[in-house]
Amino acid sequence: MSGALVTGPDGVSRCPWGVSTDDYRVYHDTEWGRPVHGDDALFERLCLEAFQSGLSWLTILRRREGFRSAFAGFRIASVAEFTGTDRERLLADEGIIRNRAKVDATLANARTLADWAPGELDALIWSYAPPRAGRPAPVTVADVPAVTDESKALAKELKKRGIRFVGPTTAYALMQACGLVDDHLAGCVARGG
């Protein structure tokens, strides 16, 4: 069955994408789908998902440390203070994706979020987590949606509050990455209980 669990060389069953490279295996096993809390941590994931738009996640994953270095560890307060000189530095930084629209959105989003109360981003994002009860574990990759009603609503609310470069697909990828949903396939070693 295409898109079903794959047993890796280590004898462990994983989602098919989780065995394609060592980078993906580590990310799959230790991070993807696990709950993430904290405004700065969620800001990082939101930014990385936006940078990923139109690209492979592996491209972002392999440049993650470059992104963290370039964007002051994704500390909202620090990024909100970036100047035009910082913007030009980012656009010249080969360690990240030098997409002008995505860099500008990251800087604008940090400025917007700097005005939010501590914990407000965390509370907002997690308020869109669907109930786990009654949500069946996907059996194949084809069972995993790209967009849900919750991701549409989250994207709409984030945009309403001034957050740029986030649509329903990006919002759902964020929800998956940060553990609001568990889209590990049934029987996957990383699937939660």
pLDDT average, residue stretch 117-144:
94
Asked if residue 169 is part of any domain, the answer here is yes
- 82: which 2 tokens? 């970036």
Say if residues 128 and 121 touch (Cβ distance below 8 Å): no
Rg (CA), the chain: 17
Write out the E strands in 89-163: none
CA distance 175 to 161: 18
**Catalytic positions:** 27, 49, 57
Do the annotations mark residue 37 as ligand-binding? Answer: no
pLDDT average, residue stretch 33-47:
98
Q: Which of 66, 4, 22 is nearest to 14 (CA)?
A: 4
What is the total count of domains within the chain?
1
Do the annotations mark residue 188 as ligand-binding? Answer: yes
Asked if residue 34 is part of any domain, the answer here is no
Asked if residue 185 is part of any domain, the answer here is no
| Number of CB atoms found within 10 A of residue 162's CB | 13
Question: Could you report the per-residue pLDDT of 73-119, keeping only the tens digit for each?
Answer: 999 999 999 999 999 999 999 999 999 999 999 999 999 999 999 99
Three-class secondary structure of residue 193 per DSSP: coil
Q: What is the CATH number of the domain that holds 146?
A: 1.10.340.30
Across the strands, what pairs with 13?
7
Given a cut of 90, is residue 135 above it in pLDDT? no
Dihedral angle of Cα 166, 32, 122, 37, to the nearest 10 degrees: -160
pLDDT average, residue stretch 151-165:
98
Rounded to the nearest integer, the mean pLDDT of the chain is 96
Identify the pLDDT of residue 2.
Answer: 60
Confidence class for position 123, pLDDT limits 50, 70, 90:
very high
Identify the pLDDT of residue 1.
Answer: 43
Asked if residue 11 is part of any domain, the answer here is no
2 vs 116, residue with greater confidence? 116
The residue range of the domain holding 119 is 39-178
Identify the pLDDT of residue 193.
Answer: 58
Confidence class for position 132, pLDDT limits 50, 70, 90:
confident
Given a cut of 60, is residue 33 above it in pLDDT? yes
Asked if residue 8 is part of any domain, the answer here is no
Do the annotations mark residue 178 as ligand-binding? Answer: no
Asked if residue 187 is part of any domain, the answer here is no
192 vs 51, residue with greater confidence? 51
Say if residues 175 and 132 touch (Cβ distance below 8 Å): no
Lowest mean pLDDT among 62-71, 76-85, 125-134: 125-134
